[in-house]
Amino acid sequence: MTGAGWRRARDYGLIVIGALLQALCMDLFLVPAHLAAGGVSGAAQLVNRYTGWPIGVMIVIANIPLFVLGWRGLGGRRFMVRTVVAVVGYAVLLDGLKQFLPAGLTTDPVLNSLYGGLIGGVGMGLVLRGQGTSGGTDILARLLGQWRAIPLSQSYLITDGLVVLLAGLTFGWTLALYALVSLYVSGLAAEVSAEGSAVVRTATIISAQPEAVAAQILKDLQRGVTAWPGVGMYSGQPRRILFCAVSRAEVGQLKAIVREIDPAAFVVIGQAHEALGEGFKPLKP
């Protein structure tokens, strides 16, 4: 099997595992506890409350128009195939596993909201990592991320707010508030599992001794350093600006290096979600 074939198989494996986790989240935690999942799944829960129609079937039907939107904005045929696999797999597992699982593991709404959000969010993130979506508001959240650079955790709160409101009217406001906690946890878990948690620190250093600072960083931390020219707008003097990326554990050592060489240096420490390339994770598909 070629490299592309292995990547495709890995992606579909992630999608199936993610769909399974989402189905377990619903069957074991959210549905028995009357906690709205948000989006299309949550809307299907509300309809099921009054009609008894299968939640999985309603999820598939409701997603059909959203497939069209996703086809245009999220990758065409590749998006469609993977999303159909994710949605249909999720719906089938949701309705099918219900027959073999207990009607909830606990009656504690706190545990249901936390574990439901965590497991469902990890499942959602795995689907996203497999280059698919779970349909419904996942499509809208990804589009918001592309168009407005809104993080996944915020996108799900925005797109799922209406469902939580309706859940308050249906299940009561106490359960709706627990559902909101679950949605937030789910968004955080999805963000971490989809994009990784390899948070690194970036440092921008303006020093009168840039060569000495860069040389010591290269020697002690073995991290690459990039320099570019700049001008101090107050003094009008030319400055060389240094930039480097380090792990969180190396921030203290980096500051000590700069402080020892040039106590008057100006240092800005920032946070980057991920670093790819030499010294960090390899840059690969």
State mean pLDDT over 34-42: 88
In the numeric block, which tokens belong to residue 275? Answer: 């670093």
Within a domain: 280: no
User: In this structure, are 176 and 208 located in the same domain?
Assistant: no
In terms of domains, do 251 and 156 share one? no
Domain span at residue 214?
200-272
Average pLDDT over residues 51-75: 81
Picking from 219, 231, 218, 168, the residue whose alpha carbon sits closest to that of residue 34 is 168
- Residue 58 — pLDDT band, cuts 50, 70, 90? very high
Tell me what pLDDT residue 226 has: 92
Query: In angstroms, rounded to a whole number, what is the distance separating the alpha carbons of residues 41 and 11?
Result: 23
**Across 58-75, average pLDDT:** 77
Domain identity same for 172 and 211: no
266 shares a domain with 145: no
Q: What is the pLDDT of residue 34?
A: 93
In the chain, % of residues over pLDDT 90: 43
- Token code pair at residue 177: 């508030």
- Tell whether 25 and 139 lie within a shared domain: yes
Position 251 pLDDT exceeds 80: yes
Q: State whether 90 and 231 are in the same domain.
A: no
What is residue 247's predicted lDDT score, i.e. its pLDDT? 80
Query: What's the mean pLDDT when you consider all of the chain?
Result: 85
Average pLDDT, integer, range 20-25: 96
Residue 240 scores a pLDDT above 80 = yes
Q: Is the pLDDT of residue 72 over 80?
A: no
Does the pLDDT value for residue 141 go beyond 70? no
Reported as a single tens digit per residue, the pLDDT across 189-231 is 987 887 666 678 899 999 989 999 999 999 888 888 999 998 8
Q: Last residue of a domain, which of 195, 220, 251?
A: 195
Q: Higher model confidence: residue 21 or residue 83?
A: 21
Rounded Cα distance, 89 and 76, in Å = 20
Is residue 139 included in any domain, yes or no?
A: yes
Q: Quick one: tokens of 23? A: 């189905």
Range 229-252 average pLDDT: 86
Query: Is 188 found in the same domain as 102?
Result: yes
Give the span between the Cα atoms of 135 and 131, in whole angstroms.
12
**Which pTM value belongs to this model?**
0.73
Instruction: Note the pLDDT of residue 268.
Output: 94
- The three-point CA angle 33-38-43 to 5° equals 85
The answer, yes or no, to whether residue 33 has pLDDT greater than 80, is yes
Is residue 78 scored above 90 in pLDDT?
no
| HEC letters along 169-237 | HHHCHHHHHHHHHHHHHHHHHHHHHHHCCCCEEEEEEECCCHHHHHHHHHHHCCCCCEEEEEECCCCCC
DSSP 16-63: HHHHHHHHHHIIIIITTTT----HHHHHHHHHHHHH---HHHHHHHHH
Task: Say whether both 72 and 118 belong to one domain.
Answer: yes
Cβ-contact 109, 175 below 8 angstroms: yes
- 284 pLDDT band, cuts 50/70/90, is low
Average confidence (pLDDT) over 20-34: 95
- Which one is predicted more confidently, 281 or 1? 281
Identify which of 97-101, 113-117, 250-254, 275-279 has the greatest average pLDDT.
113-117
Give the rounded distance of the alpha carbon of 208 from its chain centre: 40
Instruction: Say how many domains are in the chain.
Output: 2
